[in-house]
Structure 1
Amino acid sequence: MHGSIPMSLSNASLLSWIQLQKNHFNNRIPPNLGSLQYLGFLILGDNQLEAKEPLDWSFLTSLSNCTMLEALQIDYNNIGGMLPKSIANISTTLQWLTMGNNPIEGSIPPDIGKLVSLAIFDFGSNFFSGSIPASIGLLKNLNKLDLSSNNFSGEIPSTMGNLSQLNNLFLYSNSFSGSIPASLGNCKSLKILNLGYNKLTGTIPKEVFSISSLAQGLSFKENQLTGMIPPEVGSLINVEEIRLSGNKLSGEIPNSLGKCQVLQSLHLGRNFFEGSIPTSLSALRGLQELDLSQNNLSGKIPIFLGDFPNLHDLNLSFNNFEGEVPRKGVFRNKSEISVLGNEKLCGGDPILYLPICAFSGTKKKHKSPKLAMIISVVSGILCLFLLFLFVASRHWLRQRSRRKPTENYTIKEQHISISYAELVKVTNGFSEENLIGSGNFGYVYRGTLDNPENDTKVIAVKVFNLQQHGALKSFVAECEAFRTIRHRNLIKILTVCSSVDFKGHDFKAMVFEFKPNGSLESWLHPEGNDPFERKTLKLMQRIHIAIDVASALEYLHHHNQTPIIHCDLKPSNILLDDDMTALVSDFGLARFINKSTTSSTISFGIKGTIGYIAPEYGMTNKVSTHGDVYSYGILLMELFTGKKPTDGAFKEGLTLRTFVSDGFSEGVMSTMDERLLANGVHASDHSQTINHAKTFECVSLVLKIGLLCTNDLPTERMEIKRVRNELNRIKNIFFER
């Protein structure tokens, strides 16, 4: 169903249940629903309902007349603007209040504690700010509280310890500060507690580690917590996940962790833990993920880790481990283990490419003659093999020079045919003055084609350096991609040339339309002789570019004949058309996936460019649409801060993501690209302007999306379709004529 919810609905005076979720209703929620005095359930989630102005929220005020209302569900809509304080005046019979995944702003009113029957309270993934009122502690029937992915700040109120019925508490991805209240230990019914991605400080209260009811998970990751993990952690005998990575925790890993025998995921990376891995962890045989990376741990890697039957993600990188690496279980699969940055490790499975462990003096002396004999025999065989290869290759080259010099790499709807000789001519012999760019696998030259109408066409010729490992695979990948993709925000290919050059060597090139406005990289980070050095992208242009790139990704992931993962999204691969329309280019690392999945196995190298690569790519040989979303989030933050993720200022734990996240407490002005204000901020070509306050607000909303796209956990990242919708909504809010 679609269209507006009819105002006449209020004429059904005996109506008690309105359930219209998962449709395509739009426009405002009727303001007269409050006349339905018997209304108990209003379920409108997952539509396209809107609210922008205070008047659009009239329905909420009217619902205070519905004294029998038990459920109000308006999540997953386009409802924005400021939350009215009248939310606290809804009937005290209300048990279910869900407004998550909307662009709602404002704060939770202090009187929210009047809704004493609330069991489900979900305001997650909005733009709420301010602090949590202490009156939240009056909601003693609360079963689930989700305030995640907002802009809340201040301290977590100690009154939350009064919520004895609470099962699920989600406060992650906000800007909460101060310490974790020890009173949370009174929430004896908690099954999952997630306070990750905030600015919490101090030690973790032992009372929290004593909540034995915790089953689904405990996460304090990406905060600024200090001190040791108390031995009370052993009380979490039912918990499946513990995530404490990205803090400043220290001391030794407690032996009592071995009592958490239901544990499946243990993440302690990026802290200051020291000592060895305790033997008590051998009891955690159900462990599937173990991350101890970037600590100061030492000693030998325990053999028992290789006995865990379900362990498939083991990260021990950047510690001080030493000795021989075990060879069983997870240690035999390179894609499931990382031991980088441990210089004293040796041995292990050959796939890890570690140095051979030194033999003892006696063994070494005893085996030296045999070893010398083996080496001499192998060396002789190797010399004969190399001689054979040399003779065979000379013969192959002579035969190859007689072949027809072209191969068939067809591109659908190919309009022109061009030879190697013609490309040499139009680029002036691939001269340096025509060189306009270079990449991992080759160079891009500008050329001018003459056509039959005595007109000229400027082209860009991408020549692959086939001596570079992976270049041929990149060429084939691009050919395969361009066979199927057609979208206004993807670069258009004109033809390919697969031939041999004047020396008889393989030659591969692709010909594209030339884009005079260059790449997004050249606009964001111009060099001294760059023609775009004095040009600046205006706010509206950046919004449009962000929407264009999101649209291209949505097409590749969800609407192409065969879904494609780009794998190398970055500003230098975004070209700008004459009208500044953004075009995604360079499909050299692209991977096809089945429509029934979101990932693809890959067998070569790092998938992307340092700074834009999703963190999970360092641990697995699978690429996914979630990885593209991560790269997009980094690109989005770079677009509005003007800072590269590899900027020299980002060191000692500071990244582009943490730089942006910290900016929400210090003010967005400290993080946004100063050029947005220096040259004036124009809303459109009609010179419509918005004031600086609105600029800060707009950039703040966009950067929040960037943070949501770059969550460490792939499944917690925004869907690209939702990203595009949110950006369009922001554009409409700030640039409506």
Structure 2
Amino acid sequence: MASMFSGHRSIVIVLFSVLCMAFHACSDELDMLLQIKASLKDSDSRVLDTWRAEDSVCSFSGIMCNDKQKVQEINLSQENLAGTLPFDVICSLDSLEKLSLGSNFLSGKISDHLANCTKLTYLDLGNNSFSGEVPDLSSLTRLSFLSLNCSGVSGSFPWSSLRNLTALTFLSLGDNLFEKSPFPLEILNLDKLYWLYLTNSSIEGQIPEEIENLSLLENLELSDNFLFGKIPEGITKLAKLSQLELYDNNLSGNFPEGFGNLTTLRKLDVSNNSLEGDISVLKSLVNLESLQLFENKFSGEIPGEFGEFEFFQELSLYTNQFTGSLPQKIGSWSDFIYIDVSENLFTGLIPPDMCKKGSLTDLLLLQNNFTGGIPETYANCSSLTRVRVSKNSLSGSVPDGLWGLPNVNLMDLSMNQFEGSVTSNLREAKSLSQLFLSNNKFSGMLPVMMSDASSLVEIELGWNNFSGEIPSTLGELKNLSSLHLEANSFTGAIPESLGSCLSLNDISLSGNSLSSGIPYSLGSLPSLNSLNLSHNKLSGKVPLSLSSTRLSLLDLSNNQLSGPIPDALSVEVFSDGFLGNPGLCSNKRISGLKSCSSPGSTESAQLKIIVSIVIAGAFVAILSLATFLYVMKSKKNGQNCPMTRRDSWDMKHYHVLSFSEEEVVKALKQENLIGTGGSGNVYKVPLSCGKTLAVKHVWKSNSGGHKGFQMSSPMLGKGKSGSPEYDAEVEALSSIRHVNVVKLYCSITSEDSNLLVYEYMPNGSLWDQLHTCQKISMDWSVRYDIAVGAARGLEYLHHGYDRPVIHRDVKSSNILLDENMKPRIADFGLAKIVQPNGAKVAATQMIAGTYGYIAPEYAYTYKVDEKSDIYSFGVVLMELVTGKRPTEPEFGENKDIVQWVCDSMMRSDDSGIGLVDSTISEESKEDAARVLTIAIRCTMKVPNLRPSMRVVVQMLEEVEPFKLSEIVVSKDGENCKQ
């Protein structure tokens, strides 16, 4: 009996020991997960809220345990997580097999402790914002899935460690700023791979023939590298390939024989290379869905078999040398979405059935030699968003229904032989923003209700046979920025209503038979830059209102105008624009123009001057008497202020103030003026308490001739006036409190004008300090502080404010600098505030922003979101690092600083150090070059690949200079010319 008891006791002890060990193991893993939680933030998803100390780790969201209740998987991808990863803690989870943290906002380095995760079979850290190099991975021999795509890592990748990872089936390392390296031959031994993504990995050289060893590959992407030479025969042996992408390299030669054997291919993209020859070898690729061959040197005809492909959805062949006609059945069998065969030598008819399934969005056939008309079948293609068939030999009438397609935003039919009229169906084109019909044979009157196409931004109808009057309803197109109706047969008056199109900056009505006078309202257009009314029958005077515009081109020649030219327009640069008007004269000496003064008129002029002086003197005397009596009355009523509050001024303050509106209004005088424009002024206002203010005096948009203008001043940057911009600025700034956002103290309004009262920025804008004669010498420590401060200001706008603000015009001239060179984000005249329900700002048909800073997607979608701000900020970072303007002649034709930096980085091996401003000290250039890599991340073409501002701030903080140098301030370039 005793022995039996003893045996049971032993079993109990053993069981208790096992339970204790299990408890301690669970307790250890709980501590580890709580440490991981402490290093992360998940303000959006709240997934980590389920990680509580009192619960079992196996109940935590994103955690999966094995049958021994130990952590086997951590799956937290796409959870909006930020922070750094404690890899030493993570890899102490000794049963961990899967670590999935992709598509978050994680930062910091991927530490060497990752090598201790030896049981991992699945590792996904892609689409994050890590920094530094990837550590050695050779110990992770069980890995079958490895994704570091677009993770932010850089430097030298440990390609040699891949030779040990022979279990890999999925390998994705693309879109990282690795150092250049030859094609990694270690990959050729990974014969279990079905997925290989090395796009944008800085690989150079030729694709080896041994690529055929990867016989299980279904997806092969080697695009955007430095590959050259021919496409190897070895690729034709990859019989399971479904997707092959080799675009943006320097590959040459023909498609190899045997390429047609890849009959499982669905997507083929070899665009932007130097490939040549015909493409007949592709006729057997019957499963193709997408074929992208654009920007190469291909020639010959398109195989007729393409018309029988049942799954075809996308065909892009632009900028090649193809000839012949397109197969007439192309796109007939599938949900065809997209065709772009522009800039080739195609002839024949447009295939009629590419929208047979009702899915076609883009019909892009420009610059070929197509003949015939636009098939009637496209009149009902409501899915179309872009129609571009310009520069062909097309003729006939445009199908009526095509004018009114509801989703088309760009219709370009120019430079053909189309005839007939623009029908009233145009009123149904609610999405149409660009209408280009120039150089055709269109005729008839423009439909009065074309203003119902309310999204129109650009109208180009020149060089046709249109007649009748220009519809006055065009004044209802509030987004219209460009109106070209030249070389037609329009008659009647220029509509006064065009003055309501406040976005108009380019007007050309030349070469018509327009009569009557030039509308005074055209001078009210705040953005008017080019005005061509030449070769008409216009009469009357040149409106004085045009003096307040910002014209760079003015052509009123060959009309019947008379009277004096306004002095502000009597300049040599406009002189040719007044010729052919015998009745015009100038008070100034301008070549080709007669003088307004004539013999015998001197006495009359002197008499007018004397009368004017007498009247002015009487007015001043009366005004002085009225002011004296008003002040005496104020004193009698016991008021002690130097100037009493006028009931017409209404003050709204957004901070505690130590001044009154009387003190501000009193200081608005000539000696304090530091900026001016067509509808208001900017003043530097010193207060009696010693503080200095900046006051923007903005005339309201409905006050006579004083309408919106663009104001430039050292302490405000470039601002805009007019009700929408004024309201936007007040709404955005009135409740914002951040050290890196300019402070709006108050607004003061009256019936005819608005005052915005700001803190004064004595060092002007970042643009001034980088690019003008006002600049000072700034070493890297100063520039770095400006970058971080401005980033924190934008981070607050995007993430820290209760209603996120999208600035929409981030640029160096809108980053102001205080007396200590600390930055402030300014000029919120274009800002948009995200609605309380979290909805994004709606797309707009008006371009908001400044050339050189505008994100590329804006040109097509007009979409505005925080990613657009991030692109613009990336441009500012490039300015800070390189000292260059956003656009410079040295960048090359049609290139900006983003393209210049990216191209230069691709060509060099110095990690961008060669691009750093030469005035930055040698010891700081490496630090500056690190910021350049962040700028490149911010300016990625695809918006989703750009980091958030929160992540940008983290990345900038991680590259803080080791030793900040003292600020060096010295006036530079006293004799330079602006």
Same fold (TM over 0.5): yes
* Structural mapping, 1:70-109, within 5 Å: 70-75=144-149, 77-100=151-174, 102-107=176-181, 108-109=183-184
- Work out whether 1:566 is the aligned partner of 2:807: yes
* Bigger relative CO (Cα 8 Å, ≥ 6 apart): 1
Q: Is the 8 A contact 2:108 2:130 kept in 1?
A: yes
Q: Which of 593, 597, 600 does residue 834 from structure 2 map onto?
A: 593
Which has the greater radius of gyration? 2
Q: Write the mapping of 1:152-301 to structure 2, written as runs, cut at 5 A.
A: 152-155=226-229, 157-158=231-232, 159-171=234-246, 176=250, 178=252, 181=255, 186-195=261-270, 198=272, 200=274, 202=276, 205-207=279-281, 211-215=285-289, 217-219=290-292, 223=295, 230=302, 234=307, 237-243=310-316, 247=319, 254=326, 256=328, 258-259=330-331, 262-267=335-340, 273-276=367-370, 285=381, 287-290=383-386, 292=388, 299=395
State the distance in 2 between where 1:671 and 1:438 align.
41
Distance 1:587 1:43, change over 3 A: closer
CA distance in 1, matches of 2:822, 2:127: 31
Report how many aligned residue pairs link the two structures.
652
| CA deviation profile, 1:386-405 (whole Å, cap 9, x unmatched) | 9xxxxxxxxxxxxxxx9941
Name the amino acid aligned to 2:707: Q
Over 3 Å counting, the alpha-carbon distance change for 1:653 and 1:259 in structure 2 is same
Give 2:139's match in structure 1, choosing from 54, 62, 65.
Answer: 62
Provide the secondary structure at the position in 2 that maps to 1:460.
Answer: strand
1:230-278 deviation line (CA, Å, top 9, x unaligned): 3555455534344556x46676883547435522234456887233476
Q: Deviations over 1:183-227 (max 9, x none)?
A: 76554333334456x554656745457644333x44456x46575
Partner of residue 952, structure 2: 724
Q: Deviations over 1:297-346 (max 9, x none)?
A: 75467427628967433342765575456547777336434224725456
Q: Give CA-to-partner distance per residue, 1:53-74, whole Å, 9 cap, x none.
A: xxx613x0212xx2x4322234
1:509 maps onto 2:755 in alignment? yes
C-alpha displacement at 1:588, in angstroms?
Answer: 0.7
Matched, 1:584 2:684: no
Tell me which of 415, 420, 425 is aligned to 2:657: 415
- Counterpart of 2:399 in structure 1 is 303
Change in Cα spacing, 1:613 to 1:270, as seen in structure 2 (3 Å) is farther
Q: Of 490, 504, 509, which aligns to 2:741?
A: 490
Identity over aligned pairs, percent:
24
Give secondary structure in 2 for the equivalent of 1:631.
Answer: helix
Contact 1:95–1:120 (8 Å) recurs in 2: yes
In 2, the alpha carbon distance for the partners of 1:569 and 1:39 equals 44
Q: What is the rounded CA distance, in whole Å, between the counterparts of 1:510 and 1:88 in structure 2?
A: 62
Change in Cα spacing, 1:117 to 1:675, as seen in structure 2 (3 Å) is closer
Deviates more, 1:511-520 or 1:540-549: 540-549
Aligned partner of 1:445 among 675, 683, 688 = 683
1:40–1:337 distance in 2 versus 1, CA, 3 Å: same
Residues 424 and 641 of structure 1, relative CA distance in 2, 3 Å threshold: same
Counterpart CA distance in 1 for 2:314 and 2:954 is: 31
3-state DSSP class of the match of 1:273? coil
Q: Which residue of 2 aligns with 1:145?
A: 220
- Cα distance between partner residues in 2 of 1:295 and 1:671: 41
Verify the 8 A CA contact 1:636 1:703 in the aligned structure 2.
yes
Structure 1 residue 118, shift from structure 2 partner: 1.0
**Quick check: 2:112–2:135 contact (8 Å CA) kept in 1?**
no
Take 1:472 and 1:118, find their aligned partners in 2: how far apart are those partners? 61
Distance 1:305 1:105 in 2: 54
| Alpha-carbon distance in structure 2 between the residues aligned to 1:97 and 1:434 | 63
Is the Cα contact below 8 Å between 2:240 and 2:262 reproduced in 1?
Answer: yes
- Give the alignment of 1:309-324 within 5 angstroms: 311-316=407-412, 319-320=415-416, 322-324=418-420
Flag the 1:592–1:274 CA change in 2: closer, same or farther, 3 A: same
Q: TM-score, normalised by structure 2?
A: 0.57
Give distance in 2, aligned partners of 1:549 and 1:287.
Answer: 42
Residue 481 of structure 1 and its aligned partner are, at CA, apart by 0.7
- Give the SS at the match of 1:496: strand
TM-superposed deviation, 1:507: 1.9
Residue-by-residue CA offset, 1:82-134 (whole Å, 9 max, x unaligned): 11132431332211223356554443412311111112223456x53424642
Shift of 1:168: 3.4
SS at match of 1:705: helix
AA matched with 1:724:
V
Partner of 2:121: 40
Shift of 1:229: 7.4
Structure 1 pair 593–93 and aligned structure 2 pair: CA distance change class (3 A): same
Any idea what the Cα deviations from partners look like across 1:15-36, whole Å, max 9, x if unmatched? 6545566786965455475684
Moved more, 539-548 or 467-476: 539-548
- SS at the partner of 2:228? strand
Question: What amino acid sits opposite 1:444 in the alignment?
Answer: V
Instruction: Return the alpha-carbon distance in structure 1 between the equivalents of residues 399 and 961 of structure 2.
Output: 58
Among candidates 171, 187, 196, match of residue 112 of structure 1 = 187
In the aligned structure 1, how far is the partner of 2:386 from the partner of 2:959? 42
Residue in 2 aligned with 1:625? 866
The residue number in structure 1 matching 2:765 is 519
In the alignment, the residues of structure 1 paired with residue 870 and residue 654 of structure 2 have an alpha-carbon distance, to the nearest angstrom, of 28
Cα pair 1:441 1:474 within 8 Å, conserved: no
Match of 2:693 among 459, 468, 481: 459
The one-letter code of the counterpart of 1:591 is K
Change (3 A) 1:417 1:308: same
| Structure 1 residues 243 and 517: CA distance shift in structure 2, 3 A | farther
- Write the distance in 2 (CA, Å) between the matches of 1:167 and 1:330: 43
How far apart are residue 493 of structure 1 and its match? 1.6
Alpha-carbon distance in 1 for matches of 2:956, 2:164: 32
CA contact (8 A) 2:87 2:113 kept: no
Q: Using the alignment, how far apart are the partners of 2:840 and 2:909 within structure 1?
A: 34
Where does structure 2 lack aligned partners over 5 or more consecutive residues? 1-35, 40-84, 345-365, 469-490, 496-520, 522-644, 701-705, 709-720, 966-978
The residue aligned with 1:379 is: none
Say which SS state the counterpart of residue 511 (structure 1) adopts: strand
